[in-house]
Chains A and B, each alone.
Chain A
Amino acid sequence: MTWLGKIIAVHSYKGGTGKTLLSLNLAATFVKQGKTVCLFDLDFRAPSLATLLNVTKGDYWLNDYLNGTCEIDKVLVDSTDRIHNGGKLFLGLANPATEAIRDMSAKDRKWEMRALGRLLDLRNSLLNARSLDYIIMDTSPGLQYSSINAIVTSDLVIVATTFDKSDVDGTKRMLRELYDLFEKKTEIVLNKVLDVPTSTRQESMQTRVKDSYHAPLLGVIPCFCDVLRAQGNVVFIEDKPEHPFTRILDGMAKEIDKM
């Protein structure tokens, strides 16, 4: 039987748009809602989840799974204890060692083709066999092999973007020349928005985003100093359950659930 879990790739054109913050907190929000979630760090050029979540020991990394030297079970780190009163959270981490980063950036096209196959296999080995609700893939910005592999594998692409002009232009191009070609369902998250939108402004923003990107707006995240101040040291939605950021993530998770 095919389980109805979803694979979500969180991507952006530029770096620093908040992909990792969004991926981690979206995963945590789903777990809070009782879901079983697997969060993957596919940013092999600049791995960050291992550091953010203080996972130091790793016998096996996602790198090893993609290299075909182990199965996915060996890579997964059960991090359910990070989120209280919820479902389950598993992590698949990218190896942050310099040698591993160098190794991953020197892979050839045949390796990337096999890596795509290994990622596609996760639908059976994780979503279906383990009845996972979501696999969330945090990716490298721009047109990196690992990111495009994640996009091809996914059911939904969440594009984190800001109002930075070069980011807007690049995101538009990516929507047209990448996601559309792969016929991917895409949702936009506007991050680091300076003026907190009122409900009327949010509606006009929705129209602006739709006109500009030809893709629906999943959510608007204002620039919260509290979030910046946390410096990624905590799972924000777990640490601050009453914060507006947490409520916004909760709304996004519910929207995705309905899709």
Chain B
Amino acid sequence: MLGKRPVQVLEKIKESLERLNDKIEVMIEMQKHDHKDMGLPLKDAPLDVMTLLSMPDHLRKTAMTLCRLGRATADEIAQQTQRARAVESAYLNQLVIMGYLKKERDGRKAYFYVERDGKG
């Protein structure tokens, strides 16, 4: 199988590793910021202003920036917040787990957005 489509297989492995990395980053950040305060993961929780107000400061900054940009990668968010890409990636993935953001992959890039009206 590897002989037939080595590039595709390697791409799949890379994608899986990236997903795993996202999850590990979230776990690390959640431990850093005492994840108990952040509530249980929800499904499609609305990211309204009262929710933004009640968020911990570090997540609010990320969420606000994404609200302003509409749809963005962790890189684009990091450029705005002046924080490291890995940190923003962890916060964004955490907000996805909490149900406030959606994530979709377009090729090798992962885009995050706030779902409004059933679309991004």
Contacts and interface: CB of A to CB of B under 8 A. Distances in A.
Given A68-B117, A181-B57, A116 B50 contact: no
Interface string B45-67: 01111111100010011001001
A145 interface: yes
A-side interface mostly: helix
A117 B49 contact: no
A196 interface: no
B114 interface: yes
B46 A109 contact: yes
A152 interface: yes
Contacts of A68: 117
Contacts, number: 48
A109 B49 CA distance: 9
Contacts of B67: 116-117, 120, 152
Contact of A112 (B49, B53, B114): B49
A68 B118 CA distance: 13
A113 B114 contact: yes
B49 A181 contact: no
A3 interface: no
Of residues A113, A114, A151, which shows the largest number of chain B Cβ atoms within 10 Å of its Cβ? A113
Nearest to B57: A181
Interface string A66-87: 0010000000000000000000
Given A68-B117, A117-B114, A110 B50 contact: no
B114 A149 contact: no
A42 to B, nearest CB: 13
B68 interface: yes
A101 interface: no
B4 interface: no
Contacts of B51: 109
B105 interface: no
A152 B57 contact: no
Given A148-B53, A152-B52, A152-B67, A110 B46 contact: yes
B64 A152 contact: yes
Contacts of A253: none
Interface of B: 46-53, 57, 60-61, 64, 67-68, 70, 114, 116-117
17 contacts: A68-B117, A109-B48, A110-B46, A112-B48, A113-B46, A113-B114, A113-B116, A114-B116, A116-B49, A117-B116, A120-B67, A145-B49, A148-B49, A149-B49, A152-B67, A181-B60, A182-B64
